[in-house]
Homo-oligomer: A and B are copies of this chain.
Amino acid sequence: MPIGIFDSGVGGLTVYRALHNRLPNERFIYLGDTARVPYGTKSLATVERYAIENAEFLAARGIKLLVVACNTASALALPKIRARIGIDVVGVIGPGARKAVEITKFEANPRVAVIATEATVASSAYADSIRQASEKTEVVQTACPLFVPLAEENWTHEPETFSIAEKYLRNIVEFAPQALVLGCTHYPILREVIQQTVGERVTLIDSGEACAEETERLLAVKNLANPQKITGERRLCDDLDHFYVTDAAERFARVAERFLGAKPAKLEAVEIFGVDKLEN
Contact = CB atoms under 8 A, between A and B. Distances in A.
A88 interface: no
A43 to B, nearest CB: 5
A167 interface: yes
A171 to B, nearest CB: 16
A34 B153 CA distance: 23
Contact of A247 (B43, B146, B277): B43
Given A41-B251, A42-B35, A146 B149 contact: yes
B163 A41 contact: no
A275 to B, nearest CB: 10
B160 A150 contact: no
Interface residues of A, number: 30
Contact of A41 (B42, B164, B248, B273): B248
Given A149-B145, A153-B145, A43 B163 contact: no
Integer count of this chain's copies in the complex: 2
B159 A150 contact: no
A124 interface: no
Given A149-B146, A153-B145, A160-B164, A35 B46 contact: yes
Interface of A is mostly: loop
Interface of A: 34-37, 41-43, 46, 118, 145-146, 148-150, 152-153, 158-160, 163-164, 167, 247-248, 251, 269, 271, 273-274, 277
Contact of A167 (B43, B149, B152, B160): B160
User: Which of A37, A152, A158, A164 is most buried by chain B, counting CB atoms within 10 A of its CB?
Assistant: A164
Contacts of A251: 41, 118
Contacts of A150: 146
A152 B146 CA distance: 10
13 contacts: A34-B42, A35-B36, A35-B42, A36-B36, A42-B248, A43-B247, A46-B248, A146-B146, A149-B149, A158-B167, A160-B163, A160-B167, A274-B274
Which of A41, A148, A277 has most chain B Cβ within 10 Å? Answer: A41
A149 B168 CA distance: 14
Give the 8 A-B residue pairs with the shortest CB-CB distance, closest first.
A43-B248, A46-B247, A149-B149, A273-B274, A160-B163, A274-B274, A43-B247, A160-B160
